[in-house]
């Protein structure tokens, strides 16, 4: 028994080490092998800084919008009483199962020349190869996270407290603000963190719609790829480390939120 | 209880909630504009006569076969490794377990292109272990395993946590061996969770782009998967060729989503029994 237990432990840990830990640690090593100053220089070039700024700007636009829409969609999925909820459920999951490249291609076909909404470009509003297209593609791929986190919690808490509040004369907005939102806030926070991670890291969809113009429509993940293709591996590794540190911050935040996530469920029972 | 609430709740809410339908309506419009309209445009673009020809080009077929094959292999490895990892995280005790549990989420947080680069740094040319799987199908598999790692672990873990050890103890006291206990008691309880995790991992692997684009080398007929093929066609200006293969992949993704829905349904039915 103990022998098989140890065997499983080492198999599991060995797999994780070889697949995750050692590769990520090695990129940190490669980024800093020429010294900290060299890495710092590589991530503070105007192109790299612009890429970082653009990445954060897109996240700053997409995350709040998808959070609000996500909460509303979750409420509609759990509390709504209309036909086609099953379809809605499937549509919300779609971005999780779809290749980001297909998402990018769909936007290119929609807003490109001859597309249904291709007319925007003629009126001076550039969508493709510009910020709006990148925002739209990022919004697509990061849409499901808040919904998926909030739906199970809404199911769990039921509607008794909301009904009590309404019976006591609370308005709709007041009920949401005082009863529903406090119960789902940790799930929302969890969803926001996941949405942010996806928005920052998106590569396939953004690379299809952005045109990848250095210093203009290049996000940090695109910059990493461009540096690598341009044989500036030190620059690629250094920028990767910036993204990896953001990812580690995400994981730590998720962990910090995790125990609190249980609270609304305990309150409900 | 759920039934009572539904019966009591609906008439009262329906008459008083005026703002909620408006918010829901706006959210649905947003969903349509962001998700449905682009996909409709994609499908519409393949209405011309060249769809079949585009979708069945030898290079497209080879890419699709490779995508499905390697995604199936990735899903299989995940079924085994993910279950073992989940078991170790729930049932085993050792120092630093909390940290290991944390690390599982890393592939969800790490940008995919960084994932690809990290693997290429370690298992590519000039790597410290002398292993070079760059531009091979093995490298492709590594990249897919990296990004799909959390799915099975995170699906199985909560089910295993809930699972009472009493039945296993009873079986052990009756003389069942550990393997028999796992096969007859633990595994049947985990199966729906494993399958739904495996299906998620498969769907993700089929569509993955960022992680594979660096390590696969994108050699047609050898290491070029469908997502990379689609991107290449788009870059080359062959939008109809890209769209045709995309629609095929879209259909596969929808099928997998339906399967996941079925597994979830199965799991909730299990819960109620």
Question: DSSP letters along B111-162, please?
Answer: -HHHHHHHHHHHHSTT-TTS---TTSHHHHHHHHHHHHHHHHHHHHHHHHHH
Q: How far is B193 from chain A (nearest CA, A)?
A: 16
Task: Centre a 10 Å sphere on the Cβ of residue A244 and count the other Cβ atoms it contains.
Answer: 24
Stretch 9-48 of chain B: residues touching chain A, C-beta under 8 Å: 9-10, 12-14, 16-20, 23-24, 26-28, 30-31, 34-39, 41-42, 44-45
Give the domain ranges of chain A. 1-25, 34-268
Q: How far is A124 from chain B (nearest CA, A)?
A: 20
A145 touches chain B (CB under 8 A): no
A9, A105, A246 ranked by CB distance to B230: nearest: A105
Give first-to-last CA distance, chain A, whole Å. 38
Is the C-alpha dihedral spanning A83, A141, A57, B237 positive or negative?
negative
Chain A residues with CB inside 8 Å of B111's CB? 200-203, 220-221, 224, 243, 247
Cα–Cα nearest to A209, from A112, A142, A73? A112
Cβ <8 Å between A248 and B106: yes
Cβ <8 Å between B209 and A140: no
A190 touches chain B (CB under 8 A): no
Residues B100 and B195 in one domain: yes
Residues B131 and B260 in one domain: yes
Q: What is the pLDDT of residue A102?
A: 97
Q: Which helix (H) or strand (E) holds B214?
A: helix B210-215
Q: What is the pLDDT of residue A265?
A: 39
Q: What is the pLDDT of residue B146?
A: 97
Q: What is the pLDDT of residue B2?
A: 43
Cβ <8 Å between B109 and A76: no
Local mean pLDDT, 10-residue blocks, chain B (273 residues):
42 49 90 94 90 93 97 97 95 91 93 95 89 93 96 94 89 88 90 92 95 91 95 93 95 88 73 49
Tell me how many domains chain B contains: 2
pLDDT tens for chain A, residues 1 to 269: 578 889 999 999 999 999 999 999 999 999 998 889 999 999 999 999 999 999 999 999 999 999 999 999 999 999 887 788 888 888 898 898 899 999 999 999 999 888 899 888 778 888 899 999 999 999 999 999 999 999 999 999 888 888 899 899 888 888 899 989 999 999 999 999 999 999 999 999 999 999 878 888 999 999 999 999 998 888 899 999 999 999 999 999 988 887 544 444 333 33
Residues B40 and B65 in one domain: no
Distance (Å, rounded) from C-alpha A259 to C-alpha B100?
A: 17
Residues B95 and B133 in one domain: yes
Q: Which CATH architecture has domain A34-268?
A: Orthogonal Bundle (1.10)
Stretch 203-242 of chain A: residues touching chain B, C-beta under 8 Å: 203-204, 207-208, 220-222, 224-225, 228, 236-237, 240
Q: How far is B233 from chain A (nearest CA, A)?
A: 10
Q: Which residues contact B273 (CB under 8 A, 6 or more apart)?
A: none
Cβ <8 Å between B114 and A19: no
Residues B84 and B26 in one domain: no
Task: Centre a 10 Å sphere on the Cβ of residue A188 and count the other Cβ atoms it contains.
Answer: 19
Chain A residues with CB inside 8 Å of B84's CB? 8, 11-12, 15
Q: What is the pLDDT of residue A1?
A: 53
B123 touches chain A (CB under 8 A): yes
Q: Which residues contact A72 (CB under 8 A, 6 or more apart)?
A: B23, B24, B26, B27
Q: What is the pLDDT of residue B251?
A: 93
Residues B187 and B67 in one domain: yes
A19 in Cβ contact with B145 (< 8 Å): yes
Residues B39 and B61 in one domain: no
Q: How far is B151 from chain A (nearest CA, A)?
A: 12
Which residue range(s) make up the domain with B230?
51-272
A17 touches chain B (CB under 8 A): no
CATH number at residue B146: 1.10.3720.10
Stretch 126-185 of chain B: residues touching chain A, C-beta under 8 Å: 128, 142, 145-146, 149, 178
Residues B137 and B168 in one domain: yes
Q: What is the pLDDT of residue A144?
A: 95
């Amino acid at each position: 028994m103990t022998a098989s237990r140890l065997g499983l432990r080492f198999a599991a840990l060995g797999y994780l080490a070889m697949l995750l830990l050692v590769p990520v640690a090695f990129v940190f090593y490669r980024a800093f092998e020429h010294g900290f100053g060299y890495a710092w220089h590589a991530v503070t070039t105007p192109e790299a800084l612009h890429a970082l700024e653009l990445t954060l700007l897109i996240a700053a636009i997409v995350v709040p919008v998808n959070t609000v829409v996500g909460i509303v969609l979750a409420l509609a999925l759990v509390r709504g009483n209309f036909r086609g909820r099953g379809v809605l459920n499937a549509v919300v999951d779609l971005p999780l199962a779809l290749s980001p490249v297909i998402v990018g291609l769909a936007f290119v076909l929609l807003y490109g020349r001859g597309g249904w909404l291709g007319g925007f470009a003629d009126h001076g509003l550039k969508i493709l190869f510009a910020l709006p297209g990148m925002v739209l593609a990022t919004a697509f791929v990061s849409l499901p996270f808040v919904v998926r986190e909030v739906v199970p919690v809404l199911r769990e808490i039921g509607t008794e407290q909301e009904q009590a509040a309404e019976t006591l004369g609370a308005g709709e907005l007041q009920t949401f603000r005082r009863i529903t939102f406090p119960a789902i806030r940790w799930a929302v926070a969890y969803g926001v963190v996941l949405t942010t991670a996806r928005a920052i890291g998106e590569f396939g969809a953004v690379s299809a719609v952005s045109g990848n113009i250095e210093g203009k429509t290049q996000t940090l993940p695109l910059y990493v790829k461009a540096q690598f293709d341009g044989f500036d591996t030190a620059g690629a590794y250094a920028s990767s480390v910036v993204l990896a540190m953001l990812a580690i911050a995400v994981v730590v935040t998720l962990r910090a939120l995790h125990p609190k996530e249980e609270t609304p469920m305990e309150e409900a029972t | 209880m759920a039934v009572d609430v539904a019966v009591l709740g609906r008439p009262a809410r329906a008459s008083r909630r005026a703002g909620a339908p408006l918010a829901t309506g706006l959210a649905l419009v947003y969903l349509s504009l962001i998700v449905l309209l682009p996909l409709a445009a994609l499908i519409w673009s393949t209405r011309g006569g060249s769809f079949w020809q585009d979708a069945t080009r030898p290079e497209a077929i080879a890419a699709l076969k490779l995508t499905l094959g390697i995604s199936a292999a990735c899903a299989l490895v995940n079924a085994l490794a993910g279950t073992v990892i989940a078991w170790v995280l729930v049932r085993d005790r050792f120092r630093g377990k909390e940290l290991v549990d944390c690390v599982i989420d890393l592939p969800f947080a790490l940008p995919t292109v960084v994932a690809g680069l990290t693997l290429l740094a370690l298992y590519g040319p000039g790597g410290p272990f002398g292993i070079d799987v760059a531009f091979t199908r093995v490298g492709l598999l590594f990249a897919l395993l990296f990004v799909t790692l959390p799915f099975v672990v995170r699906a199985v873990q909560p089910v295993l946590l809930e699972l009472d050890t009493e039945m296993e103890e009873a079986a052990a006291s009756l003389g069942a061996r550990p393997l028999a206990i796992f096969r007859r008691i633990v595994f049947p309880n985990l199966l729906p969770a494993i399958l739904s995790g495996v299906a998620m991992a498969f769907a993700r692997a089929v569509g993955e782009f960022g992680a594979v684009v660096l390590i696969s080398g994108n050699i047609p007929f050898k290491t070029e998967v469908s997502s990379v093929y689609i991107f290449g066609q788009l870059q080359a200006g062959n939008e109809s060729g890209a769209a045709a293969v995309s629609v095929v992949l879209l259909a596969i993704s929808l099928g997998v989503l339906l399967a996941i829905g079925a597994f979830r349904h199965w799991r909730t039915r299990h819960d109620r029994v």
